[in-house]
Amino acid sequence: GAVLAALREIEENYRTADLTRLAAELHVSLPYLSAAVHRATGRTFKELLLEKRLSKAAQLLRETRLTTQDIILAVGYENTSYFYRVFRARFGVTPKDYRKERGGDFLPQAT
């Protein structure tokens, strides 16, 4: 139950997901919940949340015209430079280049 609740928290509330709050709601200790998630998935809650936020950001870059700044806020980051760093580490390109390479289906084609 607790692990599924943590995974659901990431899935549904990735913007504001908070393991401390969730542990309190589930009446379990933070270390217990943290360890349970790690045991079940092989990754920490933080890593899973980061992955979810980055894949959501990537999707928004591909499928919308939202500015990178709006996307960063939409997925739950205030720190822009941190986001750029982790995005680049994950995808190997900046958000702008990612959009150029992967998105663009919805943008008018340059003639």
Q: What is the pTM of this model?
A: 0.87
pLDDT tens readout for residues 19-46? 999 999 999 999 999 999 999 999 999 9
In this predicted model, what pLDDT tens digit does every residue of 37-90 receive, in sequence order?
A: 999 999 999 999 999 999 999 999 999 999 999 999 999 998 999 999 999 999
Question: Residue 87: helix, strand or coil by DSSP?
Answer: helix
CA quadruple 70, 76, 77, 78: dihedral sign: positive
Q: Give the pLDDT band of residue 102 (cuts 50, 70, 90).
A: confident
Cα–Cα distance between 14 and 23 in angstroms, integer?
16
Query: What's the rounded Cα separation, in Å, for the pair 96 and 40?
Result: 35
